[in-house]
Amino acid sequence: MKVAIYARYSSDNQRDASIADQLRMCRLQAEKQGWQIVEEYSDHAISGSSLLRPGIQALISDATRGRFDLILAEAMDRLSRDQEDIAGIFKRMSYADVKIVTLSEGEVTHLHVGLKGTMNALFLKDLADKTRRGQRGRVEAGKSGGGNAYGYDVVRKLDVNGEPVRGDRTINETQANVVRRIFRDYAAGKSAKTIAFALNRDGIAAPFGGAWGFSTINGNPKRGNGILNNEMYVGKIVWNRQRFIKDPDTGKRQARPNPEEDWVIQEAPELRILDDALWQAVKTRQARNRIAPDAKGQPDVARVNTRRRPKYLFSGLTRCACCGGGYSMISATLIGCSTARNKGTCDNRVNLRRDELESRVLNALRTRMLDPKIFAAFCDAYTREINRLRMEARAHIDAAQAEIGRIDREVQKLMDLYLKDALSVDDVKECGDRLRARKAELTSFLATTDEPPPLLHPAMAQHYRQRVQQLYETLQDDSEERRTEAAEVIRSLVEDIVLTPVEGKVEIDVRGDLAGILTIAAQRKNPAAGKATGSQVKMVAGAGFEPAAFRL
C-alpha cells in the first residue's frame, strides 16, 4: 500500500514543530500497518478554510495521477475545515480510487465528511465570532481593534498573569509629523500626487515601506482608509466599518461595507494627532473635489461619475520593464508609466500612442505569432495530447460498461449454481453483495462522468489561422457590439505586454496564450470541444522576432 502523508498547521497559536509532530505520528501508524510512504506534503501557517495551499494542491494533483493509494493525516481538519472543500477532496479521491485515513477518525467515509465537515465549519464560524467579540471589547475599552495605523506604535507589555496586553497604541512623533505635513499641504491646495512626490523626494518611507502613492494618501472616504480619512488622528477609533467575505472561487477576501448603525465609535483623546480645524479643512476640500460645480455653480455629480479613464483594448495588460508598474492613459492619445507619474520613483518618461500600441500587438497576433513553422509543431503536439486525454476518458467509460456486463453474467452464474445446489445461500449472498456493490460503484461513475467530446481534427492549425484572421477583421468592424466581443477574446489571449524604453524608442514584448486561441478555434468547429483542457503553451512575440519598436 503506497501512502502519502499530509500535515498542516494554521497561524493560531501553533508552531513549526506541530508539522514535525504530525508527520512523526503518521509515520508510526504507516510503519505499524506495513505501508510504504512515497511522499510527505505539508502547509505551514496557512488556514484550513481555503484550498489555496501549495501542499494540498500538490497532494491532490499527485493523487489524481495515481502516485499513491492512500492519504494519511492526523485528522480531517488538517486537510480542510471547509465543508465544501472537504467534500470535494473526498469526491476527487474516491474517483481516483485513493482512500483517506486519519489517526482520529480512521478511514474517512461519507458519514465522516457530512458530520465532521459540519463541525469544522461551525468551529470556523465560532472562532470568527469570538475574534470579533474580543476586538469589539478592546475598541469599547479605548484600544485598537486590530492592526496598526501610520503614526502610531504598538505597545507591547504583559499583564499580571504574564499574558500579552493587546490593543494599546502610542503616538510615533516622527510619523505624526509626516501626517500633519500631509494634512497641511492638502488643506493648502496641493494634490495627493504632488504630496506623494515631495515625500518620495525627501526619502520618507510610506506606511508599508517603499514609495508613497496618491492612493495611499487619498484612500477611500466611504471605507475610512487612506491617510486623509483616518479618524484616529482626531482621537476617534471607528471599528466595524466593513466585513470581509471569502470569495468561494478565488479564496480571496472581499470587503463589504456595514451599515453605519453597526459601527462602533470610541473616543481616544490620547491618540489625537490633529486639531479639529485642520481636519475640517481637509474634509471640506475633499467634499468640494467629490462634487464639482457645473457652469452654473451647481454640484455636477453626473460629470464627476463620468471622469474615469477611458478603457482601451489592452488596458491592465501593459507594464513597464523598468519598474514593473502598469502603463495608463496620460492624455487622450498617449500612455505612459504610472509609477513615473504618480510616485516619481521610475525614470521611464517615454510615452507612446495608444493606437500605435494596439496596431503593433494586433499585427503580432495576426502575423508573427502565426509563423507556419512554429504552429506546424505546436498544433500537432496540442492535437495529439488532447486526443490522447479524450481517448483515455473514453477507455475508462468503455471499461466500466464492459465490467458491468461481466458482473451481470457472474450474477446469473451464481443463480445457476445455487439452483443446482452447488452453492449455499450464504455463499450466494456474500458473492452477490460484493458484485452488487461493485456494480453500484460503476453505475455511479458512469452517471457522473461526462461523455468525452469528439477527437480534434489533425488540420487544427489551419482552423487556428482562420480564427485569428477573423478576430483581427472583426476588430476593424465599425459595429461596437462585434468589436467589443472580439476585443474580449483578444484580451483573453494576451498575458501581458512589456514596454521597454530604448534610446527614445519603445520595444514591445507580447506574451500570449497560444493554446487558448487554439481552443477557441476548436469550439468554433465543434462546440463540445470547449470542455477539454490541455497544456497551456506560452510564446513571447519578441524573442525570436524583431522587437516592435518605433520612434515617438
My answer on whether 111 and 185 are in the same domain is no
37 three-state secondary structure = strand
Q: b or e along 380-392 (b: 16 or more beta carbons within 10 Å of the residue's beta carbon)?
A: eebbeebbeebee
Contact 34, 84 (CB under 8 A): no
**Share of residues in the chain with pLDDT > 70 (%):** 67
Task: Kindly state whether residues 490 and 539 are assigned to the same domain.
Answer: yes
Amino acid at 4: A
Band (pLDDT 50/70/90 cuts) for residue 97 is: very high
| Pairwise pLDDT comparison (506 vs 380), residue with the higher score | 506
Whole-angstrom distance, CA of residue 140 vs CA of residue 144 = 9
In this predicted structure, which of 229-243, 294-308, 328-342, 495-509 has the lowest mean pLDDT? 294-308
Residue 252, C-alpha cell as written in the block = 480571496
Q: For residue 274, what pLDDT band results from cuts at 50, 70 and 90?
A: very high
Distance of alpha carbon 222 from alpha carbon 210, whole angstroms: 26
How many Å separate Cα 280 from the centre of its chain?
Answer: 40
Same domain, residue pair 206 and 320:
no
Say how many residues make up the chain: 552
What percent of the chain lies above the pLDDT cut of 90?
13
- Report the range of poorest mean pLDDT among 37-41, 203-207, 354-358: 354-358
Range name among 41-45, 433-437, 453-457 with the lowest pLDDT average = 453-457
Last residue within a domain, chosen from 278, 305, 332:
305
Alpha helices in 292-371 (DSSP H): 301-305, 338-342, 354-366
pLDDT for residue 34: 93
Residues 476 and 327 in one domain: yes
CA 123, 128, 134, 140 torsion-angle sign: negative
**What pLDDT band is residue 463 in, cutting at 50, 70 and 90?**
low
Indicate if 34 and 85 belong to the same structural domain: yes
pLDDT value of residue 120: 65
Is 347 inside a domain boundary? yes
The residues that bridge with 319 in the sheet, in sequence order, are 326, 498
DSSP one-letter code for 164: B
- Report how many domains make up the chain: 3
Residue 511 and residue 371 in one domain: yes
pLDDT in tens, 278-335: 999 999 888 887 754 444 444 444 444 444 434 677 777 888 988 888 888 888 888 8
Indicate the angle between helix axes 480-493 and 514-525, nearest 10 degrees. Answer: 130
Q: In terms of DSSP bridges, do strands 169-171 and 352-353 run parallel, antiparallel, or are they unpaired?
A: unpaired
The 10 Å Cβ neighbour count of residue 520 is 19
The pLDDT assigned to 300 comes to 42
pLDDT at 396: 79
pLDDT (average), residues 228-235 = 89
Establish if 151 belongs to a structural domain. no
| In-domain check, residue 236 | yes
Where is average pLDDT lowest: 240-254, 321-335, 378-392, 512-526? Answer: 512-526
Are 207 and 286 in the same domain? yes
Q: Kindly report the CATH number assigned to the domain that includes residue 255.
A: 3.90.1750.20
On the question of pLDDT at 459 being above 70, the answer is: no
279 vs 359 pLDDT, higher one: 279
Residue 268 lies in a domain: yes
pLDDT at 451: 65
Q: Which residue type does 329 have?
A: M
Please name every residue paired with 224 in a beta bridge, in sequence order, or none if there are none. none
pLDDT, position 344? 82
In a domain, 29, yes or no: yes
> Who has greater pLDDT, 518 or 422?
422
| More reliable by pLDDT, 134 or 483 | 134
Q: Rounded mean pLDDT of 23-51?
A: 86
Task: Show which of 284, 305, 326 is a domain's final residue.
Answer: 305
Considering only CA atoms, which of 58, 3, 10 is closest in space to residue 33? 3
Residue 182 has pLDDT above 90, yes or no: yes
Is the pLDDT confidence value at 520 over 60? no
Q: Locate 447 and state its grid cell.
A: 452517471
Task: Quick: pLDDT tens for 5-36.
Answer: 999 887 654 555 688 888 989 999 999 999 99
How far apart CA 72 and CA 32 sit, in angstroms, is 13
Q: Is 152 among the domain residues?
A: no
65 shares its domain with 100 = yes
Model confidence at 541: pLDDT above 60: no
Top-confidence residue, 270 or 313: 270
Contacts of residue 453, Cβ cutoff 8 Å, sequence gap at least 6: 390, 526, 528, 529, 531, 532
Q: Which amino acid is at 62?
A: D
User: Cβ atoms within 10 A of the Cβ of 231, count?
Assistant: 14
Q: Is 513 helix (H, G, I), strand (E, B) or coil?
A: strand
| Residue-wise burial string across 51-85, b where 16 or more C-beta atoms lie within 10 A, e elsewhere | bebebbebbbebbeeeebbbbbbbebbbbbbbbeb
Q: Are residues 370 and 479 in the same domain?
A: yes
Cα 299 to chain centroid distance, Å, stands at 40
The CATH number for 32's domain is 3.40.50.1390
Domain containing 464: what range?
Answer: 310-393+455-552
* Predicted pLDDT of residue 460: 53
The more confident residue out of 516 and 104 is 104
Residue 76 belongs to a domain:
yes
Residues 317 and 351 occupy one common structural domain:
yes
* Least-confidence region, from 114-118, 149-153, 388-392: 114-118
Q: What does the alpha-carbon distance between residue 309 and residue 211 come to, in Å, rounded to a whole number? A: 23
- Of 271, 305, 339, the last residue of a domain is 305
- In angstroms, the CA 427 to CA 406 distance is 19
Angle (nearest 5°) at CA 30 between 26 and 32: 115
The overall average pLDDT reported for the chain is 75
**Residue 336 and residue 295 share a domain:** no
Comparison of pLDDT for 65 and 514, the residue scoring more:
65
What whole-number distance in Å separates Cα of residue 504 and Cα of residue 349? 9
Flag whether 68 is in a domain.
Answer: yes
Among the residue ranges 168-177, 227-236, 299-308, the one predicted with the least confidence is: 299-308
283 shares its domain with 321: no
